[in-house]
Structure 1
Amino acid sequence: MLNPPYPTISSFGYEIIRDHILSSILGKHEEDVLYWAGKELARKFPCKSQEELIAFFADACWGTLELIKETKDGRIFQLTNDPELLLVGHRCFRLEAGFIAEQIQQAKGYLTECYDEKQVKQEHVMFTVKWDVKERIMNTIPTE
């Protein structure tokens, strides 16, 4: 068997960076910075459909993202991940929320925000996405 052309990072290594180093560096600004980092990441890795968004989460090992509900001005997604990440209680999911918000903002062409809520007992995170049809984003070509 051939070695991969690049080393892979273990989930433990990712956890160290995401849950300990970043929170230590960012301190009280962690949630805000991660949200905006997620938005920037979405601009670098645009998803052209909801299916691509869901696939990105799987490819990035962020967990299993599932659309639960859709309304005229929003969506609710559920993220299932390693239950230990929720039980420990220190991981915030603002990076993922920012990523979702920007992907949907680009798809819809309206100002969009996403709020995350850990549901520890159910072992998942809920993302509530809302867009404002009165706030068109310039320089976007909606795909939905």
Structure 2
Amino acid sequence: MSNHSSSTISAFGYEIIRDHILSSVLGKHENEVLYWAGKELARKFPCRTIEELVAFFVDASWGMLELIKETKDGRTFQLTNDPALMQIGYRSFRLEAGFIAEQIQQIMGYLTECYDEKREKQQLITFTVKWDVKERIQNTIPNE
């Protein structure tokens, strides 16, 4: 049996699933379904802090997530990774956006949305997270 911590991800294997199978199965609904799936995944793998969120991205081989800006009702993150794993040109990053939105919603306790922006020249993705301080969420920590 292989040791999970020493395993590496094949860029080609990841690309097959992420960029070909998923987009083929989901079709025109890919972005919406991936965002919902990201939110659902966040409920299964709750992160209590930004540091845990960053660590999850590394563990999932999604890349290096960095908090670059904080405001009273939002956060801005940027994601970088090995260009072979990023595939910025045609990959949807709504899975990651949904995951971030749900994690920040649980951490902050307000209704939260996340928008992704591809920056192909810089080979990075910017995630803009906004929450509504008028929309308090009850029971923000999932009870398992």
Superposed CA offset, 1:40-75 (max 9, x none)? 000000011100000000000000000000000000
SS at match of 1:113: strand
Runs of 4+ aligned residues of structure 1 deviating over 4 Å after TM superposition are 5-9
What does 1:3-14 correspond to in 2, within 5 Å? 3-4=1-2, 10-14=10-14
How many aligned residue pairs are there?
Answer: 138
**Whole-angstrom distance in 2 between the partners of 1:86 and 1:11:** 10
Q: Does 1:115 align with 2:76?
A: no
Does the CA-based 8 Å contact 2:76-2:127 persist in structure 1?
yes
What does 1:1-144 correspond to in 2, within 5 Å? 3-4=1-2, 10-84=10-84, 85-86=86-87, 89-141=89-141
Give the unaligned 5+ runs of structure 2: none
- Cα distance 1:48–1:28, how it changes in 2: closer, same or farther (>3 A)? same
- TM (norm. structure 1) is 0.90
**Whole-angstrom distance in 1 between the partners of 2:115 and 2:28:** 18
Q: How large is the RMSD of aligned CA atoms in angstroms?
A: 1.7
Give the letter aligned to residue 126 of structure 1. Answer: T
Give the unaligned 5+ runs of structure 1: none
